[in-house]
Amino acid sequence: KNPHDEFPELIEFVQHQAHQHFMHQGGFRTIDGQALNRLWSIHISSEKDFIAGLAKIQQQIPLRCIIMGTRRTDPGCRNLSSLTSSSGNYPPFMRFNPILDWSYRDVWDFIKACELPYCTLYDHGYTSLGTVKDTIRNPELLKTGSENLMQEDVMDPRSRSIVPFLAMAQNVPGMEQQDSDDDQKQALRYKPAWMLLDETKERSSRLKKTTVKDAAAKTETAGILIIGNEVISGSVVDENGPFLMRELREMGLDTIEVAVVRDDMNLIAENVRRMSGTHTFVFTSG
């Protein structure tokens, strides 16, 4: 996989967890009390990369067992057992699959009961994460509520986290509360991942390469990217965003996301890439 196709939220989550548990003295420890401060970061684009990465690790430490997060419902895992040895071209080690027979509900019950951290994307309709090019919000979690577009969640470029759009654009004209039935019908949002009722639909967030275009055509949505340091600082009031949303509503197109970013080419490209993998249309202004 291309590292530029990864979700920024997922990268941030992984980096935060790595720092918290592996890169200081308060992290994981062995049974003898020694700090487990070794951390390997390898971007895997093929099975060959994974095998090579494991071999490299084994050259540095006596790797005997790997704890996996595999579940039986994952592709190709139907016939696995909880403890199996590696095979084929893999280095010799044991695979331990402690949650092999857990259901989707079991996973989320455990996470919520133990108050474990998880990627924020799961709060916003995603149930299975791949890349920005093959992952969408799960259609099974789509809901129609009385909230208007002002309540949609967007990415805050300053914190690289998802926040309510209202917090980003309180002073933008045209974003006042709309009480009409038409606006309520257009207020489409997604439930969090743990509210998925049909566990067999977990991977509905993932698009097969052969169906990406077809799926996008069936769920036509729009994302708007507002660009400008002046807008971020509040010295200029953006009028293009509200105008676009009104025009798109009249065309029957759902604006699912609005993001505001500063004049930074890399940040702009990153958001366009991410939004292009989620929405049918992406509009930029600034």
User: Which among 45, 44, 108, 40 has a CA at the least distance from the CA of 71?
Assistant: 108
What pLDDT does residue 23 have?
61
Interatomic CA distance for residues 179 and 68, integer angstroms: 49
pTM for the full predicted model: 0.55
Q: For position 104, what pLDDT does the model report?
A: 95
Q: In angstroms, how far is CA 156 from the centroid of its own chain? A: 15
Q: What is the pLDDT of residues 74-123, one digit of tens each?
A: 888 888 899 988 887 888 889 999 999 999 999 999 999 999 999 999 99
Lowest mean pLDDT among 3-12, 22-31, 122-131: 22-31
Average pLDDT, the chain: 76
242-284 pLDDT, tens digit per residue, is 888 888 877 777 777 888 888 888 888 888 888 887 788 888 9
Residue type present at position 181: D
Looking up tokens 């997604």 gives 190
Listed in sequence order, the residues at least 6 apart from 9 whose beta carbon sits closer than 8 Å to its beta carbon are 119, 120, 121, 160, 161, 162
